Structure 1
Amino acid sequence: MSPLAALAMTLQPVAAVSAPKVLRPPARATRCELGGWTAPLVNKPIPVRAAPRADARVLGTLPTATPPATSPDDIYPVGFSIIGARDGWLKISDASDAMNEAHARPVFGGVGWIEGGTARLGIQSGRGYARPDIHSKKLLDLEGGWLADRGWIVGLAGCSGKWVLVDYRLHSPKGTLERLPMKPYRAWFRGACAASETTCDMPSVDR
């Protein structure tokens, strides 16, 4: 899959979305063991802040996937580790633009916070839960399919360990981009994949 095609699968506005009140992010700061990449916000660098607040000091920025005029297929997101979360913000580290061979872009590679709506990752699971616990209420079951194939991510609302709280929409059963229904969902998922261009080689978490 080309970088452009991969980004097209996750291309959604980063505006805040509503979600069931019962699935609020954890009230306290959490530690996470995930990886992700920047959402495709054309011509809008993502600020990395010193604290999980919109008014916190900006430490640096992450470039977003802007097509170079000479090579529209050469579009790469910036990857990073997700090491924590709080109040809809993600604590990241080790951001890298290593996949981009076209031209150097300034990347803040230290530790800081970004809004969850500006991050993406792949979900190789079709089961979403009410809490980061497989014994909690199951909110989604794609019966063998993956969210990565049957839907797209609007934003990441939180995380805990290897679990991630995802705002998402679904494709139609036929695989088209029709939205059924026209509202976002939110659920906790396992099976997160940090590879933006392909799938991850991992055991199924749905077995």
Structure 2
Amino acid sequence: MPVRAGPSPEAPIVGRLPPAVAYEGGLYSGRGPEFAIVEAEGGWFRIDAVYVPTVKDDDVEDVPLAVTGWIPGRAIYFQLQTAKGFSRPDPASEVVYRFGELTHPRDWLAVTDCRGKWAEIAYGTPQEERRMWVRGICAAQETSCDGVKGDR
């Protein structure tokens, strides 16, 4: 996945994120690069503090990757610890989705925005895209996180 100098597919490539590393361990059979999101603009996200899981001696070691830049929201995946999607990043706003069939991040079209502990997710089909705001995001790829739940 190319990492770009700006929030655009035309911006120069400043680095690359490697694909997920396959291994047997934890709850999943592989892990992808992990990073901090520091800014969002128009469906693009500026990332920093990137590290890459590397299989070493039947274990996984997190190796820092010296790259900072922008990636599209379709390249971002995480687990959710919530059962509701809201119309705005506010738990008092209208509930527009109750989780059922969107149990896996690959069912989403893209992450489209973020504000603090909230992420906006596009789902449905490209022809009938819908959006919802969620919180209770779990960044851990191997576990079910710390047990703290989002909105139920």
TM-score in terms of structure 1 length: 0.58
When residues 183 and 151 of structure 1 are mapped into structure 2, their CA distance, relative to the original with a 3 A threshold, is: farther
RMSD over aligned CA atoms reads 3.2
Other structure's SS at 2:74 match:
helix
Contact 1:121 1:193 in 2 (8 A): yes
In the other structure, the counterpart of 2:80 is: 123
Contact 2:21 2:55 in 1 (8 A): no
Contact 2:7 2:70 in 1 (8 A): yes
In the other structure, the counterpart of 1:64 is: 19
Q: Which amino acid aligns with 1:126?
A: A
When residues 193 and 157 of structure 1 are mapped into structure 2, their CA distance, relative to the original with a 3 A threshold, is: same
Contact 1:61 1:107 in 2 (8 A): no
**Partner Cα distance (1:198, 1:167) in 2:** 24
Other structure's SS at 1:117 match:
helix
In the other structure, the counterpart of 2:142 is: 197
Flag structure 1 segments of 5+ consecutive residues without an equivalent: 1-45, 170-181
Q: Does 1:138 align with 2:95?
A: yes
When residues 186 and 94 of structure 1 are mapped into structure 2, their CA distance, relative to the original with a 3 A threshold, is: same
Kindly report which structure 2 residues correspond to 1:70-81, keeping only aligned pairs within 5 A, or say none: 75-81=30-36
| Residue identity (%) | 32
Alignment match of 2:71 (pick from 114, 132, 139): 114
Flag structure 2 segments of 5+ consecutive residues without an equivalent: none
Contact 1:128 1:138 in 2 (8 A): yes
TM-score in terms of structure 2 length: 0.77
**Partner Cα distance (1:90, 1:107) in 2:** 19
In the other structure, the counterpart of 1:101 is: 55
The total of aligned residue pairs comes to 143
Contact 1:52 1:86 in 2 (8 A): yes
When residues 148 and 197 of structure 1 are mapped into structure 2, their CA distance, relative to the original with a 3 A threshold, is: farther
Contact 1:158 1:166 in 2 (8 A): yes
1:203 shift after superposition: 2.4
